[in-house]
Amino acid sequence: MSDKPLVYVVEWPDIYYTLRLKLADDDAYNADFELFAMVCVPPSEITYAKKGWTALPSDMTPNLDEATHCASGWIKWDGCTEFETREEGEDGMRKHVCGREGMKRFATALERLYDVAAERLPHWNE
């Protein structure tokens, strides 16, 4: 068993989201996750809004560690999950989406989280 966190990054350019899933070790029963909205998608370089984004091109980054996430939380082996739609230290729980299609993409990203968790969590649905 590894004592090192396992981190998986899955890009979904078709819905403009990237998932970062972190397991504490290779025998984990739950995982932390962050969901990032893409600003640019292929054929351009995938970029994300930096923390404190003001909609300027200089506020975009390809680096997830510099990017603001649009949702974060955890998911357990039994499918239970909790998540927030804000950065740490921010007030409120707002998530802006543009129209019905934007909401569908966000919902699809959350659905795909379950698929990735089922693949990566060794105790999924025990």
Of the candidates 52, 48, 26, the one whose C-alpha atom is nearest the C-alpha of residue 37 is: 48
Q: Is residue 37 part of a domain?
A: yes
Q: Is residue 106 part of a domain?
A: yes
Helix (H) or strand (E) holding 82: strand 81-84
Q: Tens digit of pLDDT for each residue in 2-53?
A: 566 799 999 999 999 999 999 988 888 999 999 999 988 888 899 998 887 7
Number of separate domains in the chain: 1
Please state the φ and ψ torsions of residue 110, each to the nearest 5 degrees: -65, -40
Angle at 60 between CA 48 and CA 18, to 5 degrees: 10
Q: Is residue 39 part of a domain?
A: yes
With H, G, I as helix, E, B as strand and everything else as coil, classify residue 73.
strand
Q: Is residue 58 part of a domain?
A: yes
Q: Is residue 125 part of a domain?
A: no
Q: What's the DSSP call for residue 67? A: B
Q: Is residue 1 part of a domain?
A: no
Q: Which residue has the tokens 């090192």?
A: 4
Residue 98 bridge partners (DSSP) = none
Q: Which residue has the tokens 């809004």?
A: 49
Residue type, 27: D
Q: Tens digit of pLDDT for each residue in 49-100?
A: 888 776 677 788 999 999 988 899 999 999 999 998 876 656 656 677 889 9
Q: Is residue 79 part of a domain?
A: yes
- Domain containing residue 23: 6-120
Q: Is residue 86 part of a domain?
A: yes
Length of the chain counted residue by residue: 126
Angle at 118 between CA 116 and CA 120, to 5 degrees: 65
Q: What's the pTM? A: 0.88
